[in-house]
Chains A and B, each alone.
Chain A
Amino acid sequence: MAPQKTETLPIKTASDIVAARQAVRLWAAEMKFSLVDQTKIVTATSELARNTVQHGGGGHMVMSIVESGIHQGLHLVFEDKGPGIADVEAAMRDGFTTAGGMGLGLSGSKRLMSQFTIETKVGEGTRVAVTRWK
């Protein structure tokens, strides 16, 4: 089924990360996710948006409400045209970091969401799609 509602937000600066968090929080609350689920979704948004800014050199986030059978979900896509990730497997490991962080951005957001896919090509960019089902 086609998404019921979509919106695209630019993710270019640190203030865009805050804006993305707030937009996602609003949607998740409207969809009546529990407080814990809302917090998980917003935290994952923060991690992935920061990756887009810090590693991808900026990009955008597409948020949409999707449906599968009796379930409703919040679907987020983070896309950038940055350098891409050479070793995705390593990047998905806990503690892997190139930016001096905790290295929990990708692996942590995967644990916070129900579905997680990453497509990346060196020199072309990265696309991370996540969904949290109710």
Chain B
Amino acid sequence: MSKLAEIFQKHQDDIVADWSKGMSSANRRKDLISDADLKAQSTELFAAIAKASKTGSLSDIEGSDWREVREILSSISASRAKQGFTPTETASFVLSLKQPVNSRLRKEMAKDPEGLIDETTTANGLIDKMALHTSEAFLTTREQLIARQQEDMLELSTPVVKLWDGILALPVIGTLDSARTQVVMESLLKTIVETNSKIAIIDITGVPTVDTLVAQHLLKTITAARLMGAECIISGIRPQIAQTIVHLGINLNDIITKSKMADAFALALQRTGKIVVSMNKAAAPKKTEHGKDN
């Protein structure tokens, strides 16, 4: 066991006490974390470090001996990322361990200056590595957060609107990737059930391109809607998309397509037993009747 590891074992409580003291005076984020929590976290972390340094390498924290340390670091960074700490503040938590460790080394190895330099270098390297690990874990947590927000945005990005009793419309705008198509289609099918709609118009006027995968998702959705007892009409297929669909060999033969959403709506009304009548035309016979009466 190296001298450093020995010191870690022997002076575990002192180092943690020094560390906590240093941190609590430097803890500028008392709004985000209490001194007590900070103390608990540092005690847990340092106990794990002391344990890992007994058997593990001191120059590499990727080994299995350091797993517990890595897990604690990751969970600390994750919770801090969520609490709103900056990456610097999070890394500083680990880096602030240098001070108590170095002063402890100086005290214990005063008679061996050369050994002191070696051990100090090892200790600093080790702490730097742990700090880097927190930064990485911090970023991972942020990425997860972003991914979740993207998901939320997906759900908001394409609203399903009710055009008439029993008729829904889904105006899709922007590029359809697989993830988005799936989310959009799920919400369409759910709304079909909720609003008891027999017909859904999927308008893709605002979609610049359709690839095989997206076309397949569209087809699957239409089939799923059919299984539920609803019919889908696709409208607004641009000429380029029509070309792509044919070139890709996608079979849309069983699907009702209309060039404009207005045509699709007219068809949907007709299917649900309704017609649109112009006011003038509707009024015209009345006028003649009036004429006759007069």
Contacts and interface: CB of A to CB of B under 8 A. Distances in A.
Interface of A: 36, 69-70
A36 B140 contact: no
A interface majority secondary structure: loop
Nearest to B140: A70
5 contacts: A36-B186, A69-B140, A70-B140, A70-B143, A70-B144
Interface of B: 140, 143-144, 186
A71 to B, nearest CB: 10
Contacts, number: 5
Contacts of A36: 186
A99 B85 CA distance: 60
A69 B74 CA distance: 11
Nearest to B78: A70
B74 to A, nearest CB: 10
Contacts of B186: 36
A69 B143 CA distance: 12
A70 B75 CA distance: 12
A88 to B, nearest CB: 25
A69 B144 CA distance: 11
B267 to A, nearest CB: 29
Nearest to A34: B186
A92 B224 CA distance: 23
A36 B186 CA distance: 8
Nearest to B186: A36
B220 to A, nearest CB: 11
A107 B90 CA distance: 48
